[in-house]
Amino acid sequence: MGATLFSPLTVAGTTFPNRIVVSPMCQYRAIDGAASDWHMIHLGQFALSGAGLVMIEATGVEAAGRITPGCLGLYTDAQEEALARVLKVFRHVGKMPVGIQIGHAGRKASSHVPWDGGHGLAEGEGAWTIVAPSAVAYDEHRAVPEALDGEGMRRIVAAFVQAAERAERIGLDVVELHAAHGYLLHQFIAPLVNRRTDAYGGSRENRLRFPLEVAAALRAVWPEGKVLGARINGPDLLPGGATIEDTIAFADGLKKAGFDYVCVSAGSLIGGQRFEAFPGYLLPYAEAVKRETGLVTQGVGMIVDPFLAEQSIATGQVDMVAIARAFLEDPRWVWHAAEKLGIAMPFPPEYRGADPAIWRGAAHRPLLCSEPGTTAEAMRTASAAT
């Protein structure tokens, strides 16, 4: 069985050994925005994962841009030094490229960590002033944000630039602009949130203006020989929300700005948003972006099964798959995917004893994967039935 999932891909001079990405996953364990021992262990487990790219979690470009007080930041020397320490240890073991996702939470900032409810911090709980394109609250549990003025927008552009410069100094291979999941740049794109009447609101061109200004500023400072990408949203899946046409126009603008890839996600624009989710449910949006723009495109959306991942690459839907929760459940997902797809995965010599080719116990352990031939539509039907 062939496996395009395990074929290399070269983007902007960087070669990814396969098409599997460890997606950015917020851990909420930073100390004053600085990476902690938790990050050392969390990211360290992926150094031997065999993934083609490991991405560091969403990282605030300024203190007010963090989602929670526990979120990573990259706006102080101490934060830069702490992340450099983690990366140095990672690189002693892991050989794959490493990137970071940088963003600003906008009106979703100043929140409790998810296991404490995730709602907005109260004044006595260390809350800070939140900003957005317009004074429209995320939900009833958060404060109404201040609408950004020109000075505030210029400050945020500069913060993105400085974060990218810090990422370059510590030797990261990829920077990913976070413009999805209801955070600040997505808020500008979404007409449900962006109620501005100036040059940054109203028409599609105006709503894309600020995110593309940030993108252009990043491209100006991030080296051409290193990969620059963006996480963007597909349609908002809400009446009056952004459409797939908005997504494609944004991706096209990023391509013209010199970006190398996009990862197409969805959701989280307003509090309590719910929609049907099933394995591969976001792949059609990523496919549409790839078809219309020609950009290298990552797919996400409950990609747990290696046969679905392989199918999405082999059929040309997407160029890479970004996987999050499946890696939390199984940091050896890549090893198990290779086994299922009939690919000989090179094991570190220290772990050679677990190689299924020689370990008799391998035949007695379960693998949470479907059989060949399973399609995304079949899994969607099964999901709906449950």
State the catalytic residues: 183
Angle at 195 between CA 193 and CA 200, to 5 degrees: 100
Cβ-proximal residues to 296 (8 Å cutoff; 6+ apart), any chain: 9, 11, 229, 260, 261, 262, 290, 319, 320
Q: Which run of H or of E encompasses 147?
A: strand 146-147
From CA 239, how far away is CA 88, in angstroms rounded? 47
Q: Which run of H or of E encompasses 56?
A: strand 53-60
From CA 295, how far away is CA 277, in angstroms rounded? 25
Angle at 222 between CA 11 and CA 256, to 5 degrees: 65
From CA 280, how far away is CA 383, in angstroms rounded? 11
From CA 207, how far away is CA 224, in angstroms rounded? 27
Distances in Å between the Cα of 202 and the Cα atoms of 65, 163, 184, 233, 356 are 24, 29, 16, 19, 58
Best CA proximity match to 46, nearest among 97, 102, 114:
97
From CA 97, how far away is CA 77, in angstroms rounded? 23
